[in-house]
Amino acid sequence: MNHLDSFKKQKELIDRFGEGNAHLAWVMSLYLDHPSALTLGSEGITDGGDDKKIDFIKLDYDLRKIVFAQGYYSNKKVESAPANKASDLNTASAWLISGDTSQVPNTLKTIIDECRLAIAENEIDQIELLYVHNLPESVNVSKELDTVAKHLSASLPKDLDITVIYKELGLENTERLYLVQESSIIVQDAIDCPAKIEYQEQGPNWTASIMSVPGYWLRDLFLSYGDELFSANYRGFLGVNRRKKINSGIKTTAEKQPQNFWVFNNGITILTTKITKEKTGVKLQGISIINGAQTTGSIGSLDGSIDLKNVKVLSRIIECFDHYTIDEIVKYNNTQNKITTWDKFSNDPQQKRIQEEFLNYGHNYSLKRGFDNNSHLGIEVVAQPAIALEGHFQEANGGKNGVFESDKMYRTAFEDKKAKHLLFVYVIARGLDERRNELKRKQTNGSIIDLEQKQLVLLRNLRFKYFFISVFGKTLNVILGRNVDVSQIGFTPNYCKVANKSLNDLIAEVLPVINLVLTYSSTFISEDFGEFIRRENAANTLSDQVKSIIYAIESANPSTVIENFRQILCE
């Protein structure tokens, strides 16, 4: 299996979490299209005893969903993973929704409270139950997961209309996820399409055919391939419910006015590697719907008893096998609407300049999504900490997609920013991840003290990370002993060079100061952080308190930690 070979090369990840948890974090990075398994593992893996059968949990405000998982890793070759581990998700879901949180460890209680609040405030559309392992998938596990999903769905408030789905991510399904990173077209089958070409246009590396495809054909495709049908589509299918009125409208039109569907709907665009004319239509070698996922998914969601023979959908089928051209086709077919990606900025002159600066320092700065790109640094991982350092923690907590959908926030993050600055904000964010991991290890081995336990509880709160980075930015003028432009502060050129300092070296250099500010910050937060962050001017108030104590201590007894920190930064 290609994905297992790749996983076993993740030495840093395995050293950090152990093989079992590292595998869980790595697969979840694949599943969630997250750029860093290290960061995701730090945030999502629960660690320690009494985890209430929740091995991993992620609340995603961007995509309005909660994902939690049970993991299992075996070094023995057996036929399937144990089904009882899948049924453990029943216990996990019960604790997530209705368990007595006074019986839950503080670090887990924080995320459970956040999830419950998000559900209560109608911020969640979907809950995903995952069983992640490194063995063949089985029918027994599927049955257990189906039972768990039904129990959880029955326990949710009906008026919220939350969809519950489950997936077994064993050898076969994880391999498919891995191949998504390598290919835009995952469905490689030969597909018969019962429609004739009405018009054709050609370009240097492509041929486009215009045709009207029947609705029943799209429904059959959706039922056969599901999400894999949209492997090259940025958005995927968003589902049909009362909060997705466009998709509900598509569904209603297909049911009530099938004869008008062709003129009411914008149509779809299909990507294939080869199209061949046949007597009854055409044959497609491989297929991905790159524009029209909502149309296809909505039609595919219709009951099988509904006759779709009169539903016709305007379709443009593009034959292309050149990888660069495919990337461009996908990009330009997905930029007319807001999309949950940052790929469209890869050709921004600002990004090209930043990438070149990073290359001059020896760093690889990625402009594309995806976690297996041999780079920890990239456009998607620096955006949120960059705006947070300048005080915009609310926007950072809103999710990375919000940054790229807001011209103001995008400019705040990248306009006229130097690589040395973005490297600095990235290191701060990674430093917080390291501190969280360190405290989790201390909790596991029983050596954590009360003050550290309080820090760990804060670090497990989803909204604390970027809030803290904002506070850190506001304290820099006192820490550095001079007025600081937080939009430009960064490492000195010598410290930016990989030949002099690796990323891990930089994190180690900054971590003592992060710990200092974190320690002082935690002493001034005496209430639940969810309540604290709602205070007016919470970040300003906390940073003033932290600055006062740092100033007093430094005036009386200057520390080598802060002096060393001052030497490695410049504007």
Q: For residues 288-304, give the mean pLDDT.
A: 83
The SS3 call for residue 330 is helix
Task: Give the pLDDT mean for 405-421.
Answer: 93
Q: What is the pLDDT of residues 369-388, one digit of tens each?
A: 544 444 578 888 999 999 99
Verify that 152 and 229 share a domain, yes or no: no
Q: Are residues 363 and 312 in the same domain?
A: no
* Residue 337 belongs to a domain: no
Q: What is the spatial distance between Cα 448 and Cα 89, in angstroms, rounded to a whole number?
A: 29
Interval 495-518 mean pLDDT: 94
56 with 46: CB under 8 angstroms?
A: yes
pLDDT digits (tens, 9 = 90+) for 212-244: 999 999 989 888 888 778 776 544 444 434 344
Which residues, including other chains, have CB under 8 Å from residue 105's CB and lie 6 or more apart?
48, 50, 51
What are the Cα distances from residue 332, in Å, to 211, 401, 403?
21, 18, 20
Both 322 and 244 in one domain: the answer is yes
Which of 131, 153, 180 terminates a domain? The answer is 180
Are 137 and 197 found together in one domain? no
Q: pLDDT by residue (tens digit) across 23-41?
A: 999 999 888 878 788 888 9
Residue numbers of the domain that contains 551: 343-369+375-570
Within this chain, do residues 456 and 411 fall inside the same structural domain, yes or no?
yes
Rounded Cα distance, 208 and 197, in Å: 10
Is 466 a domain residue?
yes
Arithmetic mean of pLDDT, 347-369:
87
Average pLDDT over residues 309-317: 92
The neighbouring-strand residues paired with 128 are 67, 165
Q: What is the pLDDT of residues 423-439, one digit of tens each?
A: 999 999 999 999 998 99
How is residue 45 annotated by DSSP? Answer: B
CATH number of the domain at 76, please. 3.40.91
Q: Residue 87 carries which side chain, given as an amino acid letter?
A: S
pLDDT exceeding 70 applies to what percent of the chain?
91
Question: How large is the average pLDDT for residues 266-290?
Answer: 89
392 and 473 belong to one structural domain: yes
Same domain, 523 and 446: yes
Q: Phi/psi at 61 (nearest 5 deg)?
A: -70, -35
Residue 199 confidence (pLDDT): 93
Cβ atoms within 10 Å, residue 392: 23
Say which residues have a Cβ less than 8 Å from residue 295's Cβ, sequence separation at least 6. Answer: 218, 250, 265, 266, 267, 268, 313
pLDDT at 302: 83
Taking 90 as the threshold, does the pLDDT of residue 512 lie above it? yes
Query: Does the structure show a pLDDT above 90 at 178?
Result: no
Query: Does residue 56 lie in a domain region?
Result: yes
Q: Does residue 97 fall inside a structural domain?
A: yes
Asked whether the beta carbons of 504 and 16 are under 8 A apart, the reply is no
Band (208; pLDDT cuts 50, 70, 90) = very high
Write down the pTM of the prediction: 0.67
Please tell me the distance from the alpha carbon of residue 75 to that of residue 20, in angstroms, as a whole number: 10
> Within this chain, do residues 156 and 193 fall inside the same structural domain, yes or no?
no
Inter-residue contact 503 to 430 (CB < 8 Å) = yes
Q: Which of 180, 198, 225 finishes a domain?
A: 180
pLDDT of residue 343: 58
| One domain for residues 266 and 321 | yes
pLDDT band at residue 485 using 50, 70 and 90 as cut-offs: very high
* Helix H or strand E segment including 125: none
Residues 351 and 320 in one domain: no
CA distance 532 to 527: 6
* Residue 173 belongs to a domain: yes
Q: Has residue 542 been placed in a domain?
A: yes
Residue 338 lies in a domain: no
430's CB contacts (< 8 A; 6+ apart) are 39, 376, 503, 507
494: buried, middle or exposed (CB in 10 Å: 19+, 13-18, 0-12)? exposed
Q: For residues 550 and 516, is the Cβ–Cβ distance under 8 A? A: yes
Whether the pLDDT of residue 339 is over 50: the answer is: no
Predicted confidence at residue 266, as pLDDT, reads: 86
pLDDT for 344 beyond 80: no
User: Per-residue pLDDT tens for 104-159?
Assistant: 777 788 888 889 988 988 889 899 999 999 999 998 999 999 999 999 999 998 88
Read off the pLDDT of residues 39-75 as tens digits, 9 standing for 90 and up.
Answer: 889 888 886 666 788 889 999 887 889 999 999 999 8
Beta carbons of 169 and 31 less than 8 angstroms apart:
yes
- In this structure, the answer to whether residues 112 and 200 fall within a common structural domain is no
Average pLDDT of span 538-549: 95
pLDDT given at position 336: 43
Main-chain dihedrals φ then ψ at residue 384, nearest 5 degrees = -65, -50
**Number of neighbours of residue 368 by Cβ within 10 angstroms:** 15
Strand partners, 201: 208
CA–CA gap between residue 567 and residue 256 (Å, rounded): 70
pLDDT at 247 over 60: no
pLDDT at 441: 87
The total number of structural domains in the chain stands at 3
Place of tokens 């039972």: 147
The reply to whether 320 falls in a domain is: yes
pLDDT in tens, 319-332: 987 767 777 777 67
Q: Which residues contact 387 (CB under 8 A, 6 or more apart)?
A: 395, 396, 403, 409, 412, 413
Query: Per-residue DSSP letters for 439-472?
Result: HHHHHHHT---HHHHHHHHHHHSTTHHHHHHHHH
Token pair, residue 211, equals 């045709």
For residues 59 and 195, membership in a common domain is answered with no
Spell out where 300-373 has E strands.
312-320
